[in-house]
Structure 1
Amino acid sequence: MALKRNPYYQGPVSDHFDGLRFFAPGRPGDKTLKDLLRWRREGGRKVWPTSFPSPFQDKPPVSVAGLRVTLIGHASFLIQVAGLNLLTDPVFSERASPLPFMGPKRVNPPGIAFDDLPPIHAVLITHNHYDHLDLAAVGRLWRRDRPRFIAPLGNDAIIRAKYPKIAVETGDWGASIELGNGVTAHFEPSNHWSARGVRDRRMALWCAYVLTTPRGTLYHVGDTGFSDGAIFARIRERFGPPRLAHLPIGAYEPRWFMQPQHMSPEEAVRAFQLLGVEQALGHHWGTFQLTNEAIEEPPQALAAALEAAGIPQEHFRPLRPGEVWEG
């Protein structure tokens, strides 16, 4: 039986919420079970190695006055800026799955060991997919540091169902939350969706974040499709060209299935150009196999797309876990 009431969020109808489910205006509808079965039937899934260790492992300082960013893995970043330590989509579990014994298994350890994390002041969650919202990591962080948890509408209910004492601060697209020390998190649209199970599709909101800081503007995208590129042009119009952008470059094949929700490396380069960004870091590749492409295909395709666009390779770096960017 279809749900008639949203279990996570009850709020007014808007241009991206119909009273039951969230949606991205003008974007394609959901893929169906028939589509999923076609994907599986057609094959084409490349074989990943069971281990793909990164050559990097970071032990970050306790505090940074400037700006220091480390990829922990997939979409998990440690952002150290203006004396604050911020985590995006922290996933430390072995699998991006509701089950500990099946589902996508990581092929490299986190680029920062959990015990090597500095004290965390805030955690920014983009959406509720298991490769972005790891409730075990949320619990560990809460017990250790009592950080602030920031998430788009509806995701607070998911976290509180497991950890009732955590007060999650939520926002709609266009909202802002001050984090302190001159840093503000802004909730911005992305072309994606949400679900933790088979009956809660699009019942919690998803987002990207813009961080305005004393060290410049940072743009973190957990997951998005490119679509017409309007979301990237909007960032530039509202905030100016970012100093730094985290742009996903993996989990994009087959295109007929993945294009609405995941950018290809070529599309990530187009996003880079629309943003007018000074520096981009590529993530969402090489840790969990979610789709068909080979494990090293995303950085190779990114390099080719940058060359074709006449953009120096160092301006858009595909990071490995534990790799650091400072600026």
Structure 2
Amino acid sequence: MSRRPAFRSAAATLGLGAVGGLFAACARGPRNPYYSGPVSDHFDGTRFFNPDGAPPRGFRDLLRWRFGDKPDEWPATVPLQAQVRPAERVDDLTVTMVGHATMLIQTAGLNILTDPVWSDRASPVSFAGPKRVIAPGIAFDDLPPIDVVLLSHNHYDHLDLATLGRLKAAHDPRVITPLGNDTLIAGTGLRCETLDWGDQTTAAHLGVHCVPSHHWSARGVGDRSMALWGGFVLTGGAGPLLFIGDTGFDQGRPYSAIPDRFGPLRAALLPIGAYDPEWFLADQHQNPDEAVRGLMLSGAAYGIGHHWGAIQLTNESREAPFEALETAKQTHGMAPDRFRALRPGEAWAIPAV
């Protein structure tokens, strides 16, 4: 058993995978290397921001966290119960957990990956940074033909260039991502379409809508919040589905407009981990109770909890999000089978509504 330092875990994922992003609080370079576009209600001409929301905390708070409470100890490795070999195509709706925020959505004959990461570390280097403790729930070579990648933002635990390069060679999927991330992806040769919040496109006969989340972005020193973050709603086919990516609860605002715009959701894929210490992380990462409240606000019939149990980023224990989700469902009177925290290798054929 080994203890992973909080600084390394946080740093490698929350920004430069992290460190760079948090140091970037002090770096205010005038040039955006990723995106150039008009000022909007969430873009000031150089950086994106959360309207009326909270910016990510700075370096002083990072040090306070680093020298504060020690993170709970995670196991160095966790055995995978079984790697699954998904069906080649699914007509209705099945979601399979690969690990962290990587899920395979199979619906209406399309195969869609969210934030694909098959690398061992969420880091800009292969020899340091947060390391996965459990193998991917689907072996890369067992993937069905991948049509689309939904990429929510550019933190290293979500945008992994090595995995994207492998996907290009094996499947050549189309990537759909918020503004600015195409610049990072360009070197992979993948086809990439960028969307602003409120924009939409199509993937075969599905609608793909980019929706706001409350988060931030960074890959290195000085590029904080220069590429946009966001979630996606898939419409058509088996019913609307939300993948929110990373988000803070932000008084419920990432969820409150969803029902009026999209009607009743069949499912929502929501993060439940990387929330402790909450004084440092609550603005950008929701906890399981907030995820339950978000599911209720979104109007989704079913929920899948992700962003837990694969890579230690913050202080909570590996099982804490799973246990807290069970408690939150009881607190809010939610049926036990409505919101499930899937483990790598678990698949769920979402019930019809």
The bucket for the TM-score relative to the shorter chain is over 0.9
1:140-195 per-residue CA deviation (whole Å, 9 max, x = no partner) reads: 111111111111100000111x32x3331100000111000x21110000000000
2:65 to 39, 44, 51: 39
1:234 corresponds to which residue? 257
1:301 corresponds to which residue? 324
1:57 corresponds to which residue? 83
1:154 corresponds to which residue? 180
Matched, 1:172 2:200: no
Q: CA deviation at 1:67?
A: 1.2
Aligned to 2:177, the other structure's residue is in SS state: strand
Matched, 1:197 2:223: no
Q: Aligned letter for 2:296?
A: Q
1:214 corresponds to which residue? 237
Q: Is the 8 A contact 2:173 2:191 kept in 1?
A: no
1:143 corresponds to which residue? 169
1:112-152 per-residue CA deviation (whole Å, 9 max, x = no partner) reads: 00000001111110000000001011001111111111111
1:70-108 per-residue CA deviation (whole Å, 9 max, x = no partner) reads: 011000011111111111100000000001111100000
Count of residues in Structure 1 that have an aligned counterpart in Structure 2: 324
1:280 corresponds to which residue? 303
1:308 and 1:55 map into 2 onto residues whose CA distance is 30
TM-score (normalizing by structure 2): 0.90
1:249-287 per-residue CA deviation (whole Å, 9 max, x = no partner) reads: 100000000000001001111111111211001110000
Aligned to 1:269, the other structure's residue is in SS state: helix
Q: Aligned letter for 2:152?
A: T
1:197 and 1:146 map into 2 onto residues whose CA distance is 27
2:3 corresponds to which residue? none
2:346 corresponds to which residue? 323
More divergent stretch after superposition (10-19 vs 42-51): 42-51
Q: Is the 8 A contact 2:56 2:283 kept in 1?
A: no
1:199-231 per-residue CA deviation (whole Å, 9 max, x = no partner) reads: 110000000010012100100021000011022
Q: Aligned letter for 1:66?
A: D
Matched, 1:86 2:109: no
1:56 and 1:278 map into 2 onto residues whose CA distance is 28
2:106 and 2:267 map into 1 onto residues whose CA distance is 13
1:220 and 1:53 map into 2 onto residues whose CA distance is 27
1:49 and 1:218 map into 2 onto residues whose CA distance is 33
Over the matched positions of the two proteins, sequence identity in percent amounts to 54
Matched, 1:183 2:209: no
2:79 and 2:217 map into 1 onto residues whose CA distance is 29
Aligned to 2:118, the other structure's residue is in SS state: coil
1:18 corresponds to which residue? 44
Matched, 1:310 2:336: no
TM-score (normalizing by structure 1): 0.97
2:318 and 2:278 map into 1 onto residues whose CA distance is 16
1:53-84 per-residue CA deviation (whole Å, 9 max, x = no partner) reads: 23242100111111111011000011111111
2:246 corresponds to which residue? 223
**Long gaps (5+) in structure 2:** 1-26
2:139 corresponds to which residue? 113
More divergent stretch after superposition (87-96 vs 45-54): 45-54
1:68 and 1:2 map into 2 onto residues whose CA distance is 44
2:121 to 87, 95, 105: 95
1:270 corresponds to which residue? 293
Q: Is the 8 A contact 1:73 1:111 kept in 2?
A: yes
More divergent stretch after superposition (59-68 vs 128-137): 59-68
2:191 and 2:322 map into 1 onto residues whose CA distance is 38
Q: Aligned letter for 1:174?
A: G
2:68 and 2:233 map into 1 onto residues whose CA distance is 38
